[in-house]
Structure 1
């Protein structure tokens, strides 16, 4: 038998007094409105993080572009392009969050959460393009060295780039982890590396001030290398999510929670997957073979409830109850065996 219920995500940080009173009066809500509100709340947090980041990084890139036009610094140009690209990644993520709010239907039965993974892929491609452009500009300047002017303005723009990117990185990573968005976390890691590349621009300006004409393009190449490193990390994060990878610790936590439920003798197959920034589970539990249908159903519901509390971003669980085998009994799943062979 199987039992399927969907729930909104449960946050288990430090609950407010209002939340505690609400949980006391209504121990656990399973209403569709509550699920929808929770989903909208997480998407709203993501949208807010995106647009705030877009404003901060857009202003930073614009200020740097003015200095690039005056100074001719190729290192600052690479940093500016990277900042602009990082700001523009808010667009695909914003589209993904809006799509993720749409309800599931008969064609997209799991909803539109996967759009967030596609947005993560677009972000990875954007990072790769910015790396290629930064490398092209730096190599061109190495082959044709030119002096950098207005070095104090370049240094100030570099510091502004670091401050803006580090603030955005902390904000995106914090919100991304809170709502379970791999794409937003990847975007935050991208912004963090941008901050350090801005500091590299400062080193290039110092080298130029000392008369080292190649300092600026060399720093441009260093920025390219830094972008490639963050590209590797972001690609790994996004591809893992697209391939349904989860933290093994989540699987262990779910298994322990199910085994602690009275009536659950053992846990069979357990699967977890991310759909956007929401988690889904499939679980088989072994119960007493003499239990009635209602008793087995109650155990399945209790197991699902335990999973919801153990995994804060879990929104849906499918729990299947198997009877404990007895000696000499035919395996009830034997009829399925020829469908499961590879």
Structure 2
């Protein structure tokens, strides 16, 4: 097979700047959330509020998820070796999938605790304490979500972190509302109802992350990438008369790869290096940074059955 491409130097520079920016965002998120988890858990234990305790537990899972995501980004910078020829880029996909699984586990715990408390007698909880702690949560989670907002559509791992933080801010808003209602009405059962509502919100936000990360784990074509559009783009290069056996998959949450068989016109055989260069440039605009081509000439026949 023909060799694969090398990114342009400006692309490396932009990628390095992005990684440094995200490193800072993850570190800020981890420090702020660890601090908030300690405060919220203490308030939940002292007040007996299930809503605060479940939110603290969810925030703790966020800290673990952010730490793993940061580790994955560090690993993407590690060099490849004989055992891992692509390096450790795929760890970002593993972390995204793990994030979704952790969130599903958190949902199960919240639902179990909320239903158990609703069946038994709802315990009195101080609405004022709930309000002030949850307001702090809105500020911290909202700020952390803002740090990831710019890059959330470019990287599934960042999207996972953004979802965690945005959902947490929304959850804290729900806790504020329940705290206010409890404070003025004494409806203590509302604490458990809000916990169930939290679980539903988390489930909705998590399903998309789970589906997208599972797709990448199974080497599926990355979301929003049209395989037919890619085929059409490959055929635009002068000298390429047919394209088949096209495979596209994700190396990480930010890098995609392609392999393809290209049928080259007899008159263009000597121009294959030029064709490769042209195609790699075209593919970079389609978010494919690693490409490998197998040339076939019109007089030869592909020996691979799937062709």
* TM-score (norm. length: structure 1): 0.78
Report the counterpart of residue 289 of structure 2 in structure 1: 315
Q: 2: CA distance between counterparts of 1:46 and 1:120?
A: 15
Q: 1: CA distance between counterparts of 2:210 and 2:46?
A: 35
**How big is the alpha-carbon RMSD for the aligned residues of Structure 1 and Structure 2?**
2.6
SS of residue matched to 1:280: strand
* Residues 49-87 of structure 1: per-residue CA shift (max 9 Å, x gap): 321221232333333234323422111221121122112
Alignment of 1:1-342 (within 5 A): 2-8=1-7, 40-142=16-118, 143-149=120-126, 151-178=127-154, 180=155, 182-209=156-183, 210-245=185-220, 246-276=222-252, 277-292=254-269, 294-308=270-284, 310-312=285-287, 314-323=288-297, 325=298, 331-334=300-303, 336-337=304-305
Contact 2:72/2:91 (8 A) holds in 1: yes
SS of residue matched to 1:290: helix
Q: 2: CA distance between counterparts of 1:241 and 1:170?
A: 26
Contact 1:261/1:306 (8 A) holds in 2: no
Cα offset, 1:95, TM superposition = 2.1
Contact 1:3/1:297 (8 A) holds in 2: no
Contact 1:186/1:237 (8 A) holds in 2: no
* TM-score (norm. length: structure 2): 0.86
Give the 4+ runs in structure 1 shifted more than 4 A: 34-42
SS of residue matched to 1:177: coil
Cα offset, 1:37, TM superposition = 5.3
Cα offset, 1:317, TM superposition = 0.8
Say if 1:248 and 1:131 are closer, same or farther in 2 by CA, change over 3 A: closer
Q: 2: CA distance between counterparts of 1:244 and 1:167?
A: 34
Report the counterpart of residue 17 of structure 1 in structure 2: none
SS of residue matched to 1:301: helix
Contact 2:51/2:192 (8 A) holds in 1: yes
Gap runs ≥5 in structure 1? 9-27
Cα offset, 1:239, TM superposition = 0.6
Cα offset, 1:38, TM superposition = 5.8
